[in-house]
Structures are given as C-alpha cells and as structure tokens.
Structure 1
Amino acid sequence: MTVQSEAATVADIGGAAVKSERIEIATPRQLMWLRFRKHKLAVASAVVLLGFYLIALIAPFLATAEPNKSEAQRSLMPPVTVHWFDDGQFAPHVFKMVGKRDPKTFRRVYVEDPTQKFPLHLFGRGFEYKLFWLIPTDIHLLGLENAPIDENLFLLGTDVQGRDVFSRLLFATQVSMSIGLVGVSISLFLGIVLGGISGFFGGLVDTAIQRVIEILRSIPTIPLWMGLAAALPQGWSAVQIYFAISIIISIFGWTELARVVRGRFLALRQEDFVMAARLCGASLPRTIFRHMLPSFLSHIIAASTLAIPEMIIAETALSFLGLGLAPPAVSYGVMLQAAQNVQTIATTPWLMVPAIPITIAVLAFNFLGDGLRDAADPYSQ
C-alpha cells in the first residue's frame, strides 16, 4: 500500500469518526434534518411545493391579464407563440393574433399578423391589484411594449369566454392549494382531539365517538356532497362558499386520523411515562400534547401530508361536477369544467392545462410525506 493510499484511508476513517461523533451528540431536531436531507425526492418535492405557494402568494404580479375579464372576440384563442430573436438579435416579441371564420368549419381560427409586433419587457404595467393583499400597484412581471390597453399576453390561450387561461391558472393556485391547508387544519384538530379523547378515556365516550365515525364513513360521499352543496344559500359570496366547501370536505377528513390517534392512545395510556406524568399532577391537555402526541408524530405528519392532496382532489372533483366553487371564484376544478367533453379536449387541449399542476402537487405532497414520515422517527432503522 502506497503512502498516498494509506493517508486517504486514514482520512476516510477520521472523517467517518467525526461524522459518527456528530450524530451521537446531535439533538433530535438535527437528526430529523439530517435524515430528511438524505431523502432527495422529498427535498425536491419540498422545493416544488414552496414554488407552488410562492406562485400563489404573488399570483397577481405574475398574471398577464385580469382573470375574469372576458371578450367574445378572443374566445378559444390558442396559446401565443413567443419569438425569441429578431434579425439575429435576442428580442422576445409576439405578434397580434387576428381571428377569422373558417369558411368550411365555420369555426373561429386565429393567425398571426406580422405587421403588428409587440416586444416583451419585464415589469410592465397592467391591471391594478394589491400585492400581498396590502400594497396597491399595477406592475406585472411581463408586459407588452407599445401595445393597446386591451391587448394582453395570452401565454396559455383563452377559454370559451375569452379569459386568459394563464392568469386564471395562477389565481386558481391560490384557492386550490390553500383549501387543502384549511381543510387539513380542521381535520387535524378534530382528529387529534376526538381521537385522543376516545382513546384516553375509553368506555361510553369511546363507544359514542366510534359510532359517529362509523356513521360518517358509511354515508356515500358524492350524494352527501350534492345535498350539502345544494343546501348552501344562493346569495353567498365566493369567500363564504370557499369556507363552506372547506368545512364540508373536512367532515370526512378527520375520521381516519381519529382512529389512528385512538389506537395509539389506547396503547400509550398504560405506559410508565404517561402514568408518571399523571401522578406528577400534569393536566390532561399537557399529558396529551406534551407527552403522548410527540411519541407518534411521524404518523400524524404522514396522515397530514397525505390528507392535503386528498383535499385538493376533493375540491377539484366537487367544482368539476358543479357542486363546489362556482364563478367568479377560480380554482382548478372550476377551470376544468370547460373540458368536460371529448370534442373540447380534441379541439382546445390547452383547457386541460390545470390537470398538470394538480398532478404535480399531489405527487409532491406524497413524496414529501414519505420523507417527513421517515425523518420524524430518526432512531428507527
């Protein structure tokens, strides 16, 4: 063995020893972070989800047109083509799309007018909005230079009412991604509280709560959603309907978590550390939230991260069927209502674009849940 190889071996052994010593003295939070970083797919999913919520936060700034502004003359316009070079120089621009009737199919088709060219530029002016719901401004990330006030950049085309699909997709991200957080927050609270009470006390309390769970799980969801959606007052605003749909979805979201929590509480309530906490005078809330819940945090994290995509899909399905959110609210499900027949999908495939962020978000939440579940129990093999 050469001197260089011996030195490399000694360095490797020394590095492994230092790493092992760092792990031995690391706190549980540091161990969780180290284990989570090893799950590359979960880290990538976390970055993707942060991007989703960042887009939701600054959606008006990224939008190129008002989401509900319609115009019949630009109905079902295909996505515009961005030309990146002009006479060999980097100069992004688009041409005005002119609509005309096809004499054979009588459909409205759009062609580029090369005589009307609009250069793209950053931080252009457009419709007014409040950045972070506080700061009034009309600055947008992209704009058209020297364009008429009614001319917009339709990156993903328009729908049947002439509304910009790209801008509506950004605003739909705000609603669909946040409704999952609201619904899961309600479900998490109900599941932990009712499941904890059921497993901790047992007896008649446990029996009553379990019968309620069985009744809720036995009811067919679609007919119940239809009945609850029909019971919503017609005069409610989009915000009121939003919270009502969140509560409706949460009615069923807490039952599975409650049973998981109940099972763990039944196993833990006779453990020595729980009995010691009660004998030391710890209150019931402190015993539950300070001593018992942290022992199966990984189960709660896994259930929560898996419940969020279920909430998103449930809202999308309800809105797609016309039972959830309705215009002027914008969500993925509301946008997908325009793609309910095969003919629309064949002739205007850009209306199916909302299915892409739904798929990405659901997969990202599932991968993130796997990583968090493993990281939450850093001492397991």
Structure 2
Amino acid sequence: MTKHYINQEPFDPYSVEQLTPEQEAFYQAPQWKLVWWKFSRHRVAVFCMLFLFVLYASIFISEFLAPYNLHSRHTDNIYSPPQPVHLFHDGAFVGLFVYGLDYNLNMETLKREYRANPERVDRIRFFCQGDAYEFWGLFEARLHFVCPAEGGTLFLLGTDRLGRDILSRMIYGARISLTIGLIGIAISFMLGITIGGLAGYYGGWVDALVQRLIEIFRSFPELPLWMALAAILPVTWSPLWVYFGITIILGLLDWPGLARAVRSKLLSLREEDFTVAAQLMGAKPRRIIFRHLLPSFASHLIASVTLAVPTMILGETALSFLGLGLRPPITSWGVLLSESQNINAVELYPWLMLPVVPVILVVLAFNFLGDGLRDAADPYK
C-alpha cells in the first residue's frame, strides 16, 4: 500500500510558478479578442480584408478616382487598346507617361489598328482638372485623382465600341456590383435567421413546414430560377427600380441555406442549460432566440456572410451578362461583360474581358476572408 505524505510547511503563494503577463492577458481576454488574435495570424485573410476594405471605400469616391466621366465618349479612339505606362524615354527618366496613339483603319480587314507613337510623350497628371461630373448627384466637380495629358489620352485598360474608357467604367461599376451583394445579404439574413430560428426553436410542425419549404426552393436550379424571375421585371421600370428588383430577387432566393444552418444549430442549443434557465425565468422565445441562442454561434453567421456575398455578386454578374439583370445606363461589372458576348469582338479586342478580373478577385477575397473567420471562430483550437 502506497503511503501518502503531507507537506507540513506553510503554503507560500510566491513559490508557485507565476503566469507571464502575456499568458494572463490571454486567459482573461474576452472571446472577440481571442478570435481577432487568431484571425490576425491568418495573413491571407487579413490581406483580403484590407483589400475589400479599400475596394468598398473606393465606391464613395468613384467619380474622383475615375480618369474620365462615366459617359465620356472618344469617337477617335473606338476599340483603342490599353496604353502601357512608362517611366523612361530615350534613356532619360520622365515620370509616369504613356505614348500617344496613331490610328489607322485596315481597309482589308476593316479592323481599327493603333500604333504607339514614340514622338508623343503624354505625361500622366495627378489631382488635376478633367471631365465634369456630379458627385453623388449633389454638386458638379472636375477634380480627378489621375488625368491624361493636355490633348492626350489615358486608356490604361482600353476603350469599348463607343470609345468609353473601360477603367473608368469599371470603377463606376464597382459601386453597383459591390453594394448589390450587401443589400441582398441583408434581405437573405433577415429571412434565414427568422425562419430558421423559428424552425429550430419550436420544432414539430413548424420545423416540418419550414423543411419542406426549403426543399422546394432547393430543388429548383438556381441560375434558371434567377433568370425566370429577372425576366418578369417590367421593361418600363426605371434603372433604379430594376436595381432594387434584382437585389430583392437575389435576397429572396438565397435564404434557404442559411435557414437550414440556423435551424440545425438551434436544435442542439435549445436543450442547453442556459436556454432552459432562460425559459424557467420567463423569457419570451424572441428574446431567447435573439439574445441567447444566435450570439452563441455568431462567428458562424459572420463567416456565412463573407461566403454568401460572392454568390450575390456572381448572380448579378450572370444575369446582367445574359441581358436579364441590370441594363444601361446603370453600369455594373456584369453590364460591362455583356459587351464581350460577341466572340468576334473578343477575338479582336480581348481587353473587353477585363471587367471579369475584379469579379474574380472579389470572389476569391471573400472566400479567403470567410476561411480565416471560420478558422478563428474556435480560438482555443
């Protein structure tokens, strides 16, 4: 039999190994700070968050950032190719500039041919006066972040069939394509959290009814259903009403996935001790759902938001590309891509496909951000 020994010496608290300030701060930190510390170590997710922040901040000053007005046409530069930026001319440092373009129409192929003229050095200007615009429709201004040289051109991404600068139109289009995802997500989350919360909390016939409704929605192919609903929008609607109509359609069709996730979470959480305690104290179901249950998996909801926004953006882009979504004069990335439906135009003028680049970058950024948030949801892992 093993003997037990008891130390008769008085307890000295200073003899116990003390926690370092870093360890003490970690164990006493609230959950949101633990999530942020782990998320900040995910460098790709942090970079994507900063990228999206800059992109969304730019939509507030799109008119200032764009070199040209949204509707400015340059009839002498139709289907002009992108002008590369240079720093040196004839071995001497000049600064940022582009070479002027000489235009020639090939009478055999009827193709517009442009050639850089090394004798025309057009220096790029910054914080300069350029095309007039109405800033958010409030007042008229002419200040631009970047402008072409006096009497020169600055088509960094080329021009379209009407001679409009593609870069400027992409900057303006970001305002529509990025915000349509946020408004659609707001509608989708309001429906998904409410319907899924009721199904998960009450169960029984409410849960069965919601599940059958979700299965009906999920049984339809997503893109054809979007197309069918978008096609019924009246052609007499103004562009603003079409914008809100497409937003509501995207929001109404995206809630079933979130509702099913909320329902499954609440089915497991409603049996927890804190939920039973709230019920015994007389808390109403609405308070239990929104004040006790939903905050328990708020990190999952945040990650779901970042993963659902790209779906909205891709949905709007696809509908506008097919001519069933937003229509001119509203400008979005999908509307810009509709210019590239003609394969002959793409073969001759491939820069018309450049508006797809921001779509890809934004979708990837949201997905990487969602992965980082999902990994950081469990800070003790």
Say yes or no: TM over 0.5: yes
Q: How many angstroms apart in 2 are the aligned matches of 1:227 and 1:367?
A: 32
CA contact (8 A) 1:78 1:350 kept: yes
Q: What's 2:350 paired with?
A: 349
Report the alpha carbon displacement of residue 44 of structure 1 after superposing the two structures with TM: 1.0
Q: How many angstroms apart in 1 are the aligned matches of 2:140 and 2:88?
A: 34
- 1:263-313, Cα deviation, whole Å (9 max, x unpaired): 111112122111111222223222111110111123212221111111111
Q: What's 1:182 paired with?
A: 183
Q: What's 2:247 paired with?
A: 246
Report the alpha carbon displacement of residue 256 of structure 1 after superposing the two structures with TM: 0.5
Q: What's 2:126 paired with?
A: 122
CA contact (8 A) 2:307 2:370 kept: yes
Cα gap change, 1:73 to 1:144, in 2 (>3 Å): closer
CA contact (8 A) 1:62 1:141 kept: yes
Report the alpha carbon displacement of residue 116 of structure 1 after superposing the two structures with TM: 4.7
Q: How many angstroms apart in 2 are the aligned matches of 1:133 and 1:210?
A: 46
Cα gap change, 1:294 to 1:64, in 2 (>3 Å): same
Pairwise mapping of residues 128-167 of structure 1 onto structure 2 (< 5 A)?
A: 128-131=132-135, 134=138, 136-147=140-151, 152-167=153-168
Pairs aligned (count): 364
- 1:212-262, Cα deviation, whole Å (9 max, x unpaired): 212111123333323222211112222211111111111221000100111
Q: Match of 2:300, as an amino acid?
A: H
Matched, 1:110 2:81: no
Q: What's 1:24 paired with?
A: 27
Q: How many angstroms apart in 2 are the aligned matches of 1:130 and 1:46?
A: 30
Q: Match of 2:344, as an amino acid?
A: Q
CA contact (8 A) 1:77 1:162 kept: yes
Secondary structure in 2 matching 1:58: helix
Q: How many angstroms apart in 2 are the aligned matches of 1:289 and 1:102?
A: 68
- 1:338-375, Cα deviation, whole Å (9 max, x unpaired): 22244333321211111211111111111111111222
Report the alpha carbon displacement of residue 74 of structure 1 after superposing the two structures with TM: 1.9
Q: What's 1:77 paired with?
A: 80
Report the alpha carbon displacement of residue 52 of structure 1 after superposing the two structures with TM: 1.4
Q: How many angstroms apart in 2 are the aligned matches of 1:15 and 1:375?
A: 28
Cα gap change, 1:16 to 1:72, in 2 (>3 Å): farther
Cα gap change, 1:250 to 1:113, in 2 (>3 Å): same
Q: What's 1:6 paired with?
A: none
Report the alpha carbon displacement of residue 319 of structure 1 after superposing the two structures with TM: 0.9
CA contact (8 A) 1:64 1:152 kept: no
Name the stretch that deviates more: 274-283 or 361-370: 274-283
Matched, 1:68 2:93: no
Q: How many angstroms apart in 2 are the aligned matches of 1:288 and 1:301?
A: 17
Report the alpha carbon displacement of residue 134 of structure 1 after superposing the two structures with TM: 4.8
What is the identity percentage for the equivalent residue pairs of Structure 1 and Structure 2? 45
Q: How many angstroms apart in 2 are the aligned matches of 1:254 and 1:202?
A: 19
CA contact (8 A) 1:101 1:107 kept: yes
The partner residue of 2:45 within 38, 42, 47 is 42
Report the alpha carbon displacement of residue 15 of structure 1 after superposing the two structures with TM: 12
CA RMSD of the aligned region, Å? 2.2
CA contact (8 A) 2:227 2:324 kept: yes
Gaps in structure 2 of 5+ consecutive residues: 1-16
- 1:96-145, Cα deviation, whole Å (9 max, x unpaired): 32322113322111223455543222111122334466564210011234
Q: How many angstroms apart in 2 are the aligned matches of 1:276 and 1:155?
A: 63
Q: Match of 1:101, as an amino acid?
A: L
**What's the TM-score once normalised by structure 1's chain length?**
0.89
Q: Match of 2:330, as an amino acid?
A: A
